[in-house]
Each structure stands twice: as structure tokens, then as C-alpha cells.
Amino acid sequence: MGSFQQMPLVSVIVNCHNSRKYLRQALDSVYQQTFQDYEIVFWDNQSSDFSSEIALSYGEPLRYFRGDTFLSLGAARNAAIEKARGEYIAFLDCDDIWLPDKLEQQVGLLDSNERPGLVYSDCYLIDGDGNLRKNTYFDSYRPCRGYVFNELLLNDFVPLLTAVIRKEVLNEVGVFNPSYEIAEEYDLWLRIARHYHFDYYERPLAKYRIHDGSISSAKQAEMFGEVFQILEYWMSQPSVVSGELRRKLKQRNAFLHTALMLHYFKNHENRKGIRESLSVAGAFPYNLVETPRVLAGMARTLLHSR
């Protein structure tokens, strides 16, 4: 690795808030990269545990910053991006892990003749103890390359921990929208995809940790709400979303409203579920085809939740 004063090619954004449990595993996975022209921009988002001591125990090329106030996740990532010196921006959350050749493989894609604006990859799914789950991310979400905006509107297939973006792309389309608390990355992917091509590496290059039962009912509802806002924005752009794509997007919106309705009933929030059912009933044309199945599923959910 070159001198710490030299401009690195890749800036790795690590945002931390009380994340000591898995922090060493995450940071070690960056230091073990076969590609060595990088820096770590470590943003300590007002941690009160021993996260800062762990981060400061690492030497170059980690650069440590502590925020004066607690920020939303998107705003904290934006603050770290402002400190980044690299041409490429990558992200790693404190409970996830990179495989050793992640940056090497993805920098190769970014340096290719196609010059995509963003590259990503498949990733393994692991539990809190690090055990591999049966499926990988791409088993559930089919990846796409090239102009992917239309496909991305219908499914978010880019896992954040695998994404590497040209910094010049962020300078053009903007960074994370701090008004979103959960779906901020999906909003950014869409804004990038509107103007730049994507590419992906088929083999898993990271491990994404899934914590069972870690998302509260309120947070899940908030996630749905933010995705609705994002989709509604693009639905309001007839020059961008029209024809068959608009029909498919309406169908996806209806499916998400149905999922939220069932979520409420499953968690015994029946008033919210009934209110959400009105959105399902108004979601033409999806409800004409799916309403019988949805109602049957809702009935099973209600019976099993008693």
C-alpha cells in the first residue's frame, strides 16, 4: 500500500453507532483485501460503547471521524462521503463481512471498457453467529446489468455492502436523501440507474448478517412507507414511467400494500390492517386477479395469530 498521504483509489465508508460486537470482524475483512489501494473512512455516529477504542486500535489506512451530533444513517454516510478522497466509494456496515478479493474483482469491473457507474455482487447470508444460510442474495433477487432502471423500479437487487460507486456519479446525482431512514439506499440506486449503467460480479463477494427479529413492527411499517414514497415519486414522472412499466409498477405497489396489510394483521394491529386494506382494494388492476388469494391468506394469518 502506498503512503497514507497519497490519494487512494477506493474509499470504504464505515458508519458506526454502538457496533462493537462485530466491528473487528468487519474491519479485519477490509484489511485482508487482496486489493490494497484503499482508505477506510470511519464515521463514529455518537457511539457510547467501546466502538471508538476498537476503531482507533487500527492503523493506516483508517481515518477516524466522530460526529458532533447523532445523525440518521443516510446523513452519517453523507458526512463520511464528504471526507472520502477516493475515486470509488464502497460501503460496509459494522456487522457485515467482505471476502478477501471483493475490491480486486469490482475495481476490475469499474476499470473495464464499459465504465459502469455502479458495480455490485451476490453475497452470502449469515446469522448472528456467522453461520451461512441456505440461499444467497441472488437466489431471491435476480441481478441485472446495463441500463437497469426499469428492473430496479420493480425489485431492489443491489445489496449495499457489495456496491462500489464512482464518486463522480455521486457528484452528479447527489448522495443519500437524509429524509429517508431505511430505504435511503434504494432511492439512491434509482437515481444512479436513471443515468448510468450497472454491472455485477456473479460470485458472492461478501457476507450479509441477518438478525432474526431485530426489526420492530413500527420499523417494518416505516420501511414500507418510504418505499411507497419513492415509487410514488417515479410514478409521478410520466416521461420516465409509462406504458407497460407503469402497469407493472402499479402491480408492485399493490403487492407491497398487501404485504403491509398482512403484516399489520399478523402483529394484531387490526385497525391499521383494515385501513391498509382500502389501499389494496384501490390498487387496480392487481386486486382483480389477486384479491381472492389475498383474502384467503389474510384469513389464514388471522386464524393462526389468535
**Helices and strands, number each (H, E), in the chain:** 12, 9
Confirm if 103 and 86 have CB atoms less than 8 A apart: no
By mean pLDDT, which of 9-18, 205-214, 246-255 is the weakest?
205-214
Element (H, E) at 97: strand 97-98
Average pLDDT over residues 285-294: 50
| Residue 104 pLDDT greater than 80, yes or no | yes
Domain 10-209 fold is Spore Coat Polysaccharide Biosynthesis Protein SpsA; Chain A (3.90.550)
Instruction: Evaluate the CA torsion angle 189, 82, 204, 132 in order and state its sign.
Output: negative
Confirm if 181 and 73 have CB atoms less than 8 A apart: yes
Q: Which of 117, 13, 127 is nearest to 75 (CA)?
A: 13
By mean pLDDT, which of 106-110, 169-173, 204-208, 219-223 is the weakest?
219-223
Q: What is the pLDDT of residue 305?
A: 44
More confident residue, 287 or 165: 165
User: Could you state, in order of their start, the residue ranges of all structural domains in the chain?
Assistant: 10-209, 217-305
In angstroms, the first-to-last Cα distance of the chain is 60
Residue 88 pairs with which residues in a beta bridge?
Answer: 10, 166
Per residue in 105-130, pLDDT tens? 999 999 988 889 999 999 999 999 99
Per residue in 147-166, pLDDT tens? 999 999 999 999 999 999 99
Per residue in 45-71, pLDDT tens? 999 999 999 999 999 999 999 999 999
| Residue 3 pLDDT greater than 80, yes or no | no
Residue with cell 386477479: 289
Per residue in 205-218, pLDDT tens? 999 999 875 566 67
What letter represents residue 34's amino acid?
T
Q: What is the pLDDT of residue 48?
A: 96
Q: What is the pLDDT of residue 302?
A: 47
Q: What is the pLDDT of residue 288?
A: 46
Q: What is the mean pLDDT of the chain?
A: 90
Confirm if 118 and 164 have CB atoms less than 8 A apart: yes
Confirm if 195 and 150 have CB atoms less than 8 A apart: no
Per residue in 18-39, pLDDT tens? 999 999 999 999 999 999 999 9
Half-sphere exposure in the Cβ direction for 115 (13 Å, CA): 6
| CA gap 173, 156 in Å, rounded | 18
| CA gap 236, 231 in Å, rounded | 9
By mean pLDDT, which of 108-112, 180-184, 200-204, 299-303 is the weakest?
299-303
Could you give the 3-state DSSP secondary structure of residue 103? helix
Backbone angles phi, psi at 179, to 5 degrees: -75, -15
| CA gap 59, 64 in Å, rounded | 10
